[in-house]
Amino acid sequence: MGWSSRIEGVAPFRVMGLLEQAQAREAAGHDVIHLEIGEPDFPTPEPVIAAGQRALARGQTRYTPAAGLPALREAIAGHYAEHFGARVDPARILVTPGASGALLLASQLLAQRGDRVLMADPTYPCNRHFMALAEAEVDVVAVGPESGWQLDAQLIDAHWRNETRLAMLATPSNPTGHTLDASRLSAVIDTVQARGGTLLVDEIYQGLTYGVEPLSAVSLSPDAFVVNSFSKYFGMTGWRLGWLVAPEGAVEPLARLAQNVFLAAPTPSQYAALAAFAPECREELERRRRELHRRRDVLLAGLERLGLAPSQPPQGAFYVWLDVSQYTRDSQVFCQRLLEEENVAITPGIDFAVHGGERHVRIAFTNETARLEEALVRLERFLARQSAPA
């Protein structure tokens, strides 16, 4: 039996295979330190759990409208008004099954065969794969320290083609953790608009920033499509809930897509998420952000001692993107051996980068500081046994 050719453009997400191996080693009795997966060790905040339990007890388990609970869409709009000074009509917000649901809707609406999409390299691989499913061609643009590891206005302008319809960026980004400030994001918006294109912004790590203020493209342009999630900052990974902010004219076709693709986001999760915006929950989430900031600093200090610290520390998310080319030309083998020899799980860069991924790894500071310090001890021991690649 032959499969659809669309699947040919979808590569495996290798970190999930590595996670399975790490979990198997744990089950066999090994003390594995997990720094591979994009999920902090914090549980869902208690007010959110309680709200979800109340929803179940009240029988609030039926379908919601395809675009989501009206009350939740209003709460998200209120979040933009309170924290970003942006007035967003709740009608422009669609609640989705995770940010992945939002990306699916956006990709199917905005891209088709013959279109080209600009995207940073490295980036979250599923962003590329959603566009491949839409049968669009992705033009990856190598980013590095010179552009702050971001797809900026100059790079977009230089790589735009006649067939380019869409530019997608992420701030803060996965895997690098770097951000665009307001002036640079405004320049991106202006450049894409001047080219007659559309901008799609992945903001799922919004709120998780260190030393810089969180920012949303919603504040700068009513024409940008903006994806966000309850998974990362709000600590609701398994609840599978995200949202998409779209221009007014795009809402109706997006709602039609949602009706046909997934009907609606999980109902108990939507009721639970209403509590995520409460003041007591916000206080807890900010405490967690400060703890991630401390973890970042502990990891960076340890990497500095090992001669591995990045030239530009990440300003957001919970990742450090490291060049390990002095030790390997194959990041997959590097990560595999580190797991097998020292029981430290990190992610090979080939998951994220089309070019240069074999020289990089991603470390997630999603474990408590004592475990990070132990991981650094094990990493130092591992590196001491390595020789320079031939």
pLDDT of residue 148: 95
Q: And the tokens for 46? A: 């208690």
Distance separating alpha carbons of residues 92 and 73, to the nearest angstrom = 9
| Cα three-residue angle 288-292-298, rounded to 5 degrees | 145
- Supply 65's token pair: 């409208």
**pLDDT value for 17:** 83
Dist CA 138 CA 126 (whole Å) = 12
Residue 63 DSSP class: P
Give the three-class secondary structure for 344.
strand
CA dihedral 45, 50, 52, 58 (to 10 degrees): -170
Structural domains in the chain?
5-43+281-383 (3.90.1150.10), 46-277 (3.40.640.10)
> Phi and psi at residue 65, in whole multiples of 5°?
-55, 155
Tell me if residue 191 falls in helix, strand or coil: helix
pLDDT in 10s for each residue of the chain, 390 residues: 678 877 777 777 777 888 899 999 999 999 999 999 888 899 999 999 999 999 999 999 999 999 999 999 999 999 999 999 999 999 999 999 999 999 999 999 999 999 999 999 999 999 999 999 999 999 999 999 999 999 999 999 999 999 999 999 999 999 999 999 999 999 999 999 999 999 999 999 999 999 998 899 999 999 999 999 999 999 999 999 999 999 999 999 999 999 999 999 999 999 999 999 999 999 999 999 999 999 999 999 999 999 999 999 999 999 999 999 999 999 999 999 999 999 999 999 999 999 999 999 999 999 999 999 999 999 999 999 988 775
| Peptide bond before residue 175 is cis, with ω within 30 degrees of 0 | yes
Answer whether 345's CB lies under 8 Å from 32's CB: yes
Q: 244, 271 in Cβ contact below 8 A? A: no
- The SS3 call for residue 138 is strand
Q: For residues 45, 47, 52 and 53, what is the CA-based torsion angle, rounded to 10 degrees?
A: 110
Rounded-to-integer distance, Cα 352 and Cα 360, Å: 9
Per-residue confidence (pLDDT) for residue 390, from 0 to 100: 54
- Between the alpha carbon of residue 162 and those of residues 41, 101, 156, the distances in Å are 45, 29, 13
Task: Kindly report whether the peptide bond that precedes residue 279 is cis, defined as omega within 30 degrees of 0.
Answer: no
What pLDDT, on the 0 to 100 scale, is given for residue 288? Answer: 98
CB 196 within 8 A of CB 163: no
Query: What is the model's pLDDT at position 389?
Result: 77
Please give the radius of gyration of the chain, using alpha carbons only, rounded to the nearest integer: 21
CA 345 to chain centre: 19
Query: Phi and psi of 199, rounded to 5°?
Result: -110, 130
Query: CA 141, 146, 148, 150: dihedral to nearest 10 degrees?
Result: -10
Given a contact cutoff of 8 angstroms between Cβ atoms, the answer to whether 230 and 95 are in contact is no
Q: Do 102 and 242 meet the contact criterion of CB atoms below 8 Å apart?
A: yes
> 81 and 87 in contact (C-beta within 8 Å)?
yes
Write the CA distances from 26 to 15, 21, 199, 252, 286, integer angstroms.
16, 9, 43, 48, 31
What's the whole-model pTM score? 0.95
Place of tokens 């998951």: 351
CA–CA separation, 82 vs 88, rounded Å? 11
Rounded distance, CA 100 to CA 11, Å? 16
